Chain A
Amino acid sequence: MAAVTRAAAGTNADTDAAVIRASLADPDRFAPIYDRYAAMLYRYAYQRVGPEIADDVVAEAFLAAFRGRASYDLDRQDARPWLFGILTREMATHQRREQARYRAMARSTHETVQDGPADQVAARVVADAARGPLAAALAGLAPGDRDVLLLVAWGQLSYDEVADALNIPQGTVGSRLNRARRKVRKALGGFDPTTTMEENDEV
């Protein structure tokens, strides 16, 4: 038995699955999973729930992942969708805070001060113009729709990976995403994204 385990671990020493398998017997070996994905998860949590609780949410997500590592499907070499799924569940308890945050952004959009290198500021002009309507749209989405939309747009997950992360069929991913995007487009409403972009190019 031990020989088989070692052999299997030897061939895939670097995959997430191999790390998680090793961590089943030796919990300390779970650490590389944190080191690989902490920045990615932190960024996503920070974007959604804000700086005040991003630390907590990320720490709790990793601990939940650690506790649930026995249920990880070791056939999946890449743990990213699994971790985003766990993070999504952790953030679900902070839905009200997240919505309030978007609503506040929608209200305060004109007071936003942009500073930093000029090119970066310029690159954000489009986003700034859209900021208020986008924030308002995000606040108004159904939680399940928002999860799908933001996993795609901010988490950079593919449809397959979103389906994996949220444990829903791919068809559901598609329908939720379409619904969410319709609302976002409607919120962007008055201005044409294409036109705005061209204006931005001239800046």
Chain B
Amino acid sequence: MRSDLSILEEFGASLAPVPDHPPAEVRHRVMNGMRRPARRPRLLSRLSGVRLAWGIGAPAVAAAAVAAALVAGQLADVAGGQPAPPGRGTNVEAGAGAVPQAPPGAEQVLLLAAQHAAATPAMDARPNQFLFIDSVEIESKINSGEATVSGPLRTRTWLSVDGTRDGLVTQEAAPASRRSPTRTPIDGCTNGRQAQTIDRPATTPEVACTPEPAYRPGRVPTDSAGLLAYVYSVAAAEPEWVSIGAGPDGRPSGYVRLSADQRAFTEIAEILYKNHLPAVQEAAFLAARRIAGVQVRRNVADAAGRAGVAVTRTEAGARQELVFDSTSYRYLGHNIIGATLDLAGAKVVRSPNSGKGTARIRLGPNPKPGEVIYKSALLGIAVVDKAGQRP
């Protein structure tokens, strides 16, 4: 007896592929895709950078002057983008002992940082050159449920000035490991095509792309309103969920979705790493002022051990910190620190929507408040001719 189902089965057999396995290329693609977060290559999103040392001189004076203007209640002047004359800084210093002044809040820190960026002269950079970013990173890793902190590890990054050329990241291994530095190529967006996983150009297929310049205007707007809209559009398009700890069986017991504000804030940290054009950095600081819930935090250490003042936003058990020098308001780096996980009013879902966005999953306990999750501090930037070349 042959049923309709078995005839259908035979028909199916005649349609089956002859080599029963998919081509090896498919496996490569899946394995590489698994390493790649849906949003951005992890490598890039983790790194962050800051303003270079040579910029300190003049802008430091301007920043002090802006602080004076703020204290004197002349915020409007400052917001208008007019750096105060350098002379006023000394006046305030003279009077500081007599009149106790409230230290600047988050908005003011960001304003001062924007002023510093605006006063930083742009370097000469040709489209075919590279932005060299010298930094150190600290990262905590979970192994069998236990967190270990690695670093600070010296990290050197070369990003294409116009985004179309292949870059490079090197990271030194911990001295105790005796390993050689890791070298990771970064595929540029050449002729509108780029490896699907940009830090694995050899094994992933090319896809259409828009260049992301490291030191030119590009995808990211250079005005604060435009940049603010941009980061919120990214937040809407690429949501992020965070696991809220594990149950007794080790599986995540639930997830919360980061608010648009928190996603926008972290996206600003990413922009600060990816594009060092002073106009972009200025716009990023000004845009961050408009994000609800930002706070100021003093005596924060960056990955290089430098103390500074941070503008922070805390959500879902993590405090994102943008760290600034507390006198010049130069941007020093980006920290992610464990914070109390407050689920009051939070909507906890059993599983994240897998349709779009990313989920950060952590087995075992969440980081304790104050524990370092990640830190990156910039030591300097420069323009060089080739990826791998030191200034």
Contact = CB atoms under 8 A, between A and B. Distances in A.
Interface string B93-134: 000000000000000000000000000000000000000000
Contact of A63 (B10, B15, B30, B252): B30
Interface in A1-42: 1-2, 4-6, 8-9, 21, 24-25, 27-28, 30-31, 34, 38-39, 42
B3 interface: yes
A62 B218 CA distance: 34
Interface stretch (B43-51, B82-90, B142-150, B380-388): B142-150
B12 A193 contact: no
Given A4-B249, A5-B364, A25-B362, A58 B2 contact: no
B342 interface: no
A184 B8 contact: yes
A39 to B, nearest CB: 5
Given A70-B352, A127-B14, A153 B146 contact: no
B4 A185 contact: yes
B16 A25 contact: no
Contact of B31 (A2, A31, A134, A154): A31
B34 A66 contact: yes
A55 B144 contact: no
A190 B26 CA distance: 43
Interface string B345-382: 00000111010001101111100000000000000000
Given A46-B16, A70-B243, A71-B352, A126 B7 contact: yes
Interface in A100-155: 123-124, 126-128, 130-131, 134-135, 149-150, 152-154
Contacts of B5: 152-153, 181
Nearest to A34: B30
Nearest to A3: B145
Nearest to A155: B12
A92 B315 CA distance: 37
Contacts of A9: 250
A58 B26 contact: yes
A38 B22 contact: yes
A168 interface: no
A66 B250 contact: no
B255 interface: yes
Contact of B10 (A24, A43, A124, A185): A124
Dominant secondary structure of chain A at its interface with chain B: helix
A4 B250 contact: yes
B12 A154 contact: yes
A153 B352 contact: no
B17 interface: yes
Contact of A74 (B22, B38, B251, B361): B251
B187 to A, nearest CB: 19
Interface residues of A, number: 57
Interface residues of B, number: 53
B364 A130 contact: no
Interface in B204-236: none
A194 interface: yes
Contacts of B70: none
B250 A21 contact: yes
Contacts of A172: none
Contact of A39 (B10, B21, B249, B364): B21
B4 A188 contact: yes
B25 interface: yes
Nearest to B38: A67
B34 A181 contact: no
B351 to A, nearest CB: 3
A24 B7 contact: no
A128 B35 CA distance: 44
B13 interface: yes
Contact of B142 (A4, A25, A64): A25
B252 A70 contact: yes
Contact of A59 (B16, B26, B142, B246): B26
A41 B8 CA distance: 18
B351 A71 contact: yes
B33 A66 contact: yes
Contact of B7 (A2, A55, A68, A188): A188
Given A38-B27, A153-B5, 5 more contacts: A1-B363, A4-B250, A5-B250, A34-B27, A70-B252
5 contacts: A54-B17, A64-B354, A70-B361, A185-B4, A194-B2
